[in-house]
Amino acid sequence: MTQLPKPPIAEPAIRVVMMPRDTNSEGSIFGGVILSYIDQAAFVEARRQVHHRYVTVCMREVVFKEPVFTGDVLSLYGETKRIGKTSITVQVKVMAERSRPPTTSVHVTDAEVVMVAIDDHGKPKDIASA
């Protein structure tokens, strides 16, 4: 396991401790749980850019490079890559701080998430009309 440099973004969008309820039969955290946190981190970053209601349109190719275990602290970093007319593309980086000594930080995965701003009727809304 290689110690990776800290992400360029100083503060994570969210941090969460992985709990036993989130484990699969192999003893690691379900990928779907991590996908849910990726979605939340993308939302936090999108709202940081422009305050709107957002829905997720797509999450591009998520490849899990390292497992996540009970007790690990996940830090999810969001970085806006593109702001379009109705959508924001956010790059999310997922790091896990191992709870077992020696304490290390491992790069779990990355995801590109496209969020679309919506109006009260669930229709796409121009982002510029904040």
Q: In CATH, what is the architecture of 14-118?
A: Roll (3.10)
Check residue 37 and give its pLDDT: 98
At residue 129, the pLDDT reads 65
- pLDDT tens string for the chain (130 positions)? 444 444 455 689 999 999 999 999 988 999 999 999 999 999 999 999 999 999 999 999 899 999 999 999 999 999 999 999 999 999 999 999 998 877 899 999 999 999 999 999 999 999 986 5
What are the sequence ranges of the domains in the chain?
Answer: 14-118
Cis peptide before 102 (omega within 30 of 0): yes
What local confidence, expressed as pLDDT, does residue 128 receive? 80
Backbone conformation region of residue 64, classed left if phi is above 0, alpha if psi is from -120 to 50, else beta? beta
* Angle value at C-alpha 121, between 119 and 126, nearest 5 degrees: 25
Tell me the pTM.
0.88
pLDDT of residue 3: 45
Give pLDDT, residue 130. Answer: 52
